[in-house]
Each structure stands twice: as C-alpha cells, then as structure tokens.
Amino acid sequence: MLRIASVNVNGIRAAHRRGFGDWLATRGCDVVTLQEVRAPLDKLPMDAFGDYHVVYEPGQLAGRNGVAVLTREQPAAVRTWDADVLVRGPGEDHLHTEPAPDRVSLARGLARHAHEGRYVEVDLAEAPLTVASLYLPKGGLPAHLQKPGRMREAPDGGARYERKMRFMAAFARQLTRTRRAALAAGRELLLTGDLNVAHTEQDVARWRSSRQAEGFLPEEREWVGSLLSPRTLVDVVRSVHPDADGPYTWWSWLGQAYARDAGWRIDYHLATPRLARTAESAEVDREHRGVRLSDHAPVVVDYAFGA
C-alpha cells in the first residue's frame, strides 16, 4: 500500500509552527506533495521534513509559490520545467539548488512559467509511479464581472483571469505529454495539488452564490472536466466519495467559514485509471490535534499499489 498526501501549506514556516512536522511524523505517509511552500532555502525549518527525502522547487518569486515532493525512498528520477531544485536526503543540511537531472520538453505557453515554482515531478523508486505536485494560479475575474467596490483586490481589466486561462490551456497540453510518457515507460501518473478550481456543485458549499466567483467560473469548471475521463485521468477523491458534498479542502480564515464547513474542494489527486482503481480510502485531515495547519487541509489517499 502507498499512502500519498497533498497539502497546500500556505507557507511552510507558519504551517510548521502550527504542527506540520508532528502531523508528518505521525500520519504514516509514503509520499507527501506540498504547494505554496513559500520559503527561501535558508529559511526552511530544518526539522519540518523529518526523515523524508526532499525535492523542492522554490521558484524565483520571493515569498510566493514553491512546490515540493517528500518521499521515504530516494526518488528514481526528478523532473522540472527547466528550473533548479533542492534535492536533499534525511540528515543532510545543504542549502543550494542544482539543475534537476531531467528537464522536460515544455508545451507551448509554459516556458514563461518555468521559474515560478509551480511544478515538480518524481519517479518513485519503490513503485512504477510518477507523482507530480502542481500549484495552479489563483487567477481572477474576467473584465465584465469586475465591479469596483465589490472586490477585495483592485480591478485589473481581467489580466489575472486571462493569465490563468492561458496557463490552464498550456498545462493541459503538458499533462497529456506527461501522462503518455509515464505510461510508455510502464509507470502510472498521479497529479496532485491545488488547482484553484472547484469542479462541480458538490465541491462548493455555497455554490449558488459562487457561480460568478473566481475558481468556480463555467470555463474553469469545464477545463477540469476536460482533463477527466475513464481513459485518461480520474478524480480519485470524487470516485471514493461519489455522492458527498466535498469533502472540502479549503476554508477562508475569515468569519465562520471553517466552523460552518462552508468550504471549497480545490485540492486534488488526479490519477491514471489503473492507479485510481486501487484507491482504498480518501480522507481530508481538517485539523491536527485541534489545530488547522493551513487554510487548506491535507488530502490523504491510500492506494493498494506497489512494485
């Protein structure tokens, strides 16, 4: 069995203060993918990752993004989008990145994002599986939906929205390449991470009032749907919980959203069908020892999949 978790930590230093290291040490995961690590190398909490091997792509945007994959065994291969990575084993303390051993050929439109700390993938040594960690841009509203005075951010004429849509189109092309390459090499593929999109009405507690909100726009939801099919990728958590509302993975820090479970499901495990069929359980760890680790919660799936 492989236990794999995906966690948007919203800053590893803050998450570690809230108990991330203890959660990691006690949850029994074989693989943990992280998003929004948001820490320069010399500011990473040295004890945050325990006895895991760490692959961390910090990106070049100070204080933003950053994705990682933690594994029990040293990965058989590491790939990025032409970005340098920190590759460190348990007990090591070096603070420098180096070129990833493999750099993938990028689909049209992705090169501009190569150094933003949004994507890293590894091949596991203990199973024929490629695991990827993705942080997709949050985006914004299209220009015609932007109403001054009703937005927390200043209107931008739809610039953030357009940027997200371009990223999604390019990433869909890249994902097809990645999936086919993994299968051709005899590996399954698991894409994990924060997609910043809720796919269906089951994935937003207050979906009626969110129909014109970023992250739940029709075109964003259609994009998630375009990635999924019985022959390509399966939304693992939804396959395990087909009729459930949620389970939600993100709640605003504001108001009573968390207490009322008025959340969104925007963190995913998307797996090739053979891997998805082995999922035995899928859980969202809302809190650890009574404390929220982040505004997101870990998504933990047990796969009956091995060598």
CA distance 169 to 227: 11
Q: Please give the Cα distance from 277 to 236 (Å, whole number).
A: 8
Q: Is 228 left (phi over 0), alpha (psi -120 to 50) or beta?
A: beta
* Dihedral angle computed from the Cα positions of residues 24, 29, 30 and 32, in that order, rounded to the nearest 10 degrees: -60
Query: How big, in percent rounded to 5, are the helix, strand and coil portions of the chain?
Result: 25, 25, 50
Phi, psi of 3 (to 5 degrees): -105, 120
Q: What is the distance between the alpha carbons of residues 28 and 15, in angstroms, rounded to a whole number? A: 18
Fold (CATH) for 2-303: Deoxyribonuclease I; Chain A (3.60.10)
pLDDT at residue 216 greater than cutoff 70 = yes
Return the bridge partners of 279, or none.
Answer: 303
pLDDT at 307: 55
61 pLDDT tier (thresholds 50, 70, 90): confident
- Give the residue-averaged pLDDT of 275-282: 98
Tens-place pLDDT, residues 108-153: 999 999 999 999 999 999 999 999 999 999 999 999 999 876 667 8
pLDDT for residue 152:
75
The model carries a pTM of: 0.97
Considering only residues 63 and 284, tell me which one the structure prediction assigns the higher pLDDT: 284
Contact 45, 13 (CB under 8 A): yes
Report how far residue 234's alpha carbon sits from residue 279's, in angstroms, rounded to the nearest whole number: 11
* Dist. CA 249–CA 245, nearest whole Å: 11
Check residue 306 and give its pLDDT: 79
Lowest mean pLDDT among 6-15, 42-51, 68-77, 183-192: 42-51
The pLDDT of residue 97: 92
Site of tokens 């895991």: 52
Please identify which residue in the block is written with the tokens 């870990």. 298
Quick check: 10 pLDDT over 70?
yes
